[in-house]
């Protein structure tokens, strides 16, 4: 079993829909990252959080340390949000989930 599990693996949505991507982990962590990888391959760090909730534009990330679970929400999704979203946890190094591939259609 992977130490970091993401669901769903693939997600399609219509423009404007509310998106939720989930991440569960089984190890003790100091922080959790959400990353975005575009079709061209580049990786952008969206959030790093160790408790509570963070918001940036249409993106919201939450974490529940007791339940070892985090969610990434996208409000009013747009085709340009189409990408792979990766959850990664800090132990003494970063451990990555396998990603959620999101496609948003107009």
- List all residues 6 or more positions away from 69 whose beta carbon is below 8 Å from its beta carbon: 22, 23, 24, 25, 63
Note whether 22 binds other proteins by CB under 8 A: no
Cβ closest to other proteins, residue 19 vs residue 34: 34
> What does the block give as tokens for 61?
């990330």
Note whether 96 binds other proteins by CB under 8 A: yes
Return the residue of 1, 30, 57, 106 that touches other proteins, per CB under 8 A: 30
Handedness of CA 89, 90, 91, 93 (dihedral sign): positive
Choose the stretch contacting other proteins; rule: CB under 8 A; options: 8-16, 57-65, 68-76, 94-102.
Answer: 94-102
CB of 78 to other proteins, least distance (A): 23
Note whether 44 binds other proteins by CB under 8 A: yes
Note whether 97 binds other proteins by CB under 8 A: yes
Note whether 86 binds other proteins by CB under 8 A: yes
Give the span between the Cα atoms of 23 and 31, in whole angstroms: 13
Give the span between the Cα atoms of 81 and 103, in whole angstroms: 8
């Amino acid at each position: 079993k992977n130490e970091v599990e993401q669901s769903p693996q693939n997600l399609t949505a219509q423009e404007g829909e509310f998106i939720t991507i989930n991440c569960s982990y089984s190890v003790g962590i100091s922080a959790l990252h959400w990353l975005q990888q575009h079709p061209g391959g580049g990786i952008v760090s969206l959030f790093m959080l160790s408790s509570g909730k963070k918001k940036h534009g249409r993106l919201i990330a939450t974490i529940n340390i007791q339940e070892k679970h985090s969610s990434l929400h996208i409000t009013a999704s747009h085709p340009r949000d189409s990408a792979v979203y990766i959850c990664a946890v800090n132990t003494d190094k970063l451990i990555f989930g396998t990603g959620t591939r999101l496609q948003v259609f107009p």
